[in-house]
Amino acid sequence: MRIDASIIIVNYNTKELTLQCLKSIYKQTKGGVSFEVIVVDNGSKDNSVVSIREQYPQIVLIESNKNLGFGKANNLGAKQAKGKYLFLLNSDTILLNNAVKIFFDYCEQEHNPDISLAGSILLDIDKKPIHSSGNFPSKRKILRLVLGGYLDRNYFENNNNIERLNFTNKNHFIVDYITGADLFIRKDLFNRINGFDRDYFMYYEDSDLQKRTNDLGYKSYIINGPQIIHLEGKSNKKPSFNLQKRKMVTKSMFTYFRKHSNIATYIFFRVLYLLARTPILFDNRIKIKERLSYLTFLTFN
């Protein structure tokens, strides 16, 4: 039997969210598209595997004995996928309509070989548009942001452009990259670029992957139709400043610039980033030990 789409979900201690996501998939994906669901469990300790297997015995459940991170876990799922397309879906998402069929039909009916990646405008719990895509970082954007005294991945996100993404007289928008929360991509293209780069544990792997597909001439499309709620942050409940997460994000950002910039630009970026983050030394909201640890990390990693 031909499978149109393989839905891949990475689960890490998000049992209830994953079960809710699975429920929405089977409720909404009714007819018009053949699919399979693959759940990759990253060594969860919350009894996820038992619950998922009991409630959804039909899915392909891949168990890892450790947390592989987002990209590597998706790569593991993709290796077993049989679909023409991969639908990478966060565990904290809820489908409100037959998004899988809408994505599949769009990519198939356009008959345009460069339409191989698609996503949607994600919604929050109140069904309001939220961050769904982003811009590739550039030297000009880095400089503007550093001179402003604050450098964070949020700058490269299209939050401020959500309102322009209305579909009046259009059925899609081309963006630099779609977030990994709902990425619909041809499996042969995913395999061609060897999937997600293994040098990323979490963060920036989605922009890195689509930078590589973009370099090959494939565009990323936000399309009209799919309705998906993203309960952003629910799978990572942390304080506003979490040292471990901050280091993880920063390390991935450095990896991105090292891979996609020349050495001069990379060094320039590292120096400016360190200068931009120096004021954290005087932020009394953060423990002094964490301030020093983070700045040491920026200097020597």
Give the tens place of pLDDT for each residue, 136-173: 876 666 666 555 544 444 444 444 455 455 655 578 88
Taking each helix axis from N to C terminus, what angle separates 15-28 and 99-109, rounded to the nearest 10 degrees?
Answer: 60
Same-domain status, 175 and 273: no
In a domain, 236, yes or no: no
Q: Which residue has the tokens 């259009």?
A: 170
Of 176, 195, 230, which one is at a domain's C-terminal end?
Answer: 230
Same-domain status, 209 and 117: yes
Encoding tokens for residue 96? 């409100």
**pTM summary value:** 0.85
Beta-strand (E) ranges in the chain? 5-11, 35-42, 60-64, 85-89, 93-95, 115-119, 133-134, 172-175, 177-178, 182-186, 219-223, 228-230
CATH number of the domain where residue 37 is located: 3.90.550.10
Q: Which pLDDT tens digit goes with each residue over 264-285?
A: 888 887 887 777 777 776 777 7
In a domain, 133, yes or no: yes
pLDDT in the model for residue 41: 96
C-alpha–C-alpha distance, residues 27 and 83, integer Å: 20
Of 202, 230, 258, which one is at a domain's C-terminal end?
Answer: 230
In a domain, 39, yes or no: yes
Task: Indicate the SS3 state at residue 132.
Answer: coil
Of 230, 252, 284, which one is at a domain's C-terminal end?
Answer: 230
In a domain, 238, yes or no: no
Q: Is the dihedral of CA 152, 157, 162, 164 positive or negative?
A: positive
Query: How far lies 55's CA from each of 15, 26, 41, 210, in Å?
Result: 12, 12, 15, 34
Q: Higher confidence at residue 278 or residue 180? A: 180
Instruction: Name the pLDDT band for 99 (thresholds 50, 70, 90).
Output: very high
C-alpha–C-alpha distance, residues 61 and 67, integer Å: 15
β-pair type (133-134, 177-178): antiparallel
Domain extent at residue 50 = 5-230
Residue 179's nearest CA partner among 132, 113, 227, 122 is: 132
Same-domain status, 210 and 284: no
Burial of 244 (0-12, 13-18, 19+ CB in 10 A): exposed
In a domain, 34, yes or no: yes
Mean predicted lDDT score pLDDT of the chain: 85
Same-domain status, 69 and 190: yes
Encoding tokens for residue 123? 């919604």
Total structural domains within the chain: 2
Same-domain status, 160 and 208: yes
In a domain, 101, yes or no: yes
In a domain, 235, yes or no: no
Same-domain status, 207 and 252: no
